[in-house]
């Protein structure tokens, strides 16, 4: 195994951890926002109205913000996939 192969594997692992953690934080913070909203409203119905309005497919601003927020994770995922396609086979054969 070459040194560059070891560095490449570490980079692929780091990219995988990065986009996994970033996506997890995104989902976790969205869930935390829903919970905090539930605690601050008077009823579950008010919370339901707010959440359905916020996450509606017609709420373009929320979709844009979500894409911007997730863009580092999306780029890291695409970069890792590109690196995996370029890397030689695990058996050591080079194509």
Burial (CB count <10 Å: 0-12, 13-18, 19+), residue 83? middle
CA–CA distance, 30 with 24 (Å, rounded to integer): 10
| Dihedral sign of CA atoms 84, 87, 89, 95 in order | positive
Residue 7 lies in a domain: no
Residue 22 lies in a domain: no
- For residues 27 and 77, the answer to whether their CB atoms sit within 8 Å is no
Residue 21 lies in a domain: no
Residue 57 lies in a domain: yes
Q: What is the mean pLDDT of the chain?
A: 87
pTM value is: 0.78
Residue 53 lies in a domain: yes
| pLDDT tens by residue, 40-73 | 989 999 999 999 999 999 999 999 999 999 999 9
Number of domains in the chain: 1
């Amino acid at each position: 195994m070459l040194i560059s192969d070891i560095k490449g594997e570490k980079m692929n692992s780091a990219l995988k951890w990065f986009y996994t953690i970033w996506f997890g934080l995104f989902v976790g913070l969205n869930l935390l926002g829903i919970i905090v909203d539930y605690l601050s409203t008077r009823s579950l119905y008010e919370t339901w109205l707010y959440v359905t309005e916020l996450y509606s497919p017609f709420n373009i601003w929320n979709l844009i913000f979500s894409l911007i927020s997730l863009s580092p994770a999306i780029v890291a995922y695409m970069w890792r996939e590109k690196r995996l396609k370029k890397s030689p086979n695990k058996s050591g054969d080079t194509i």
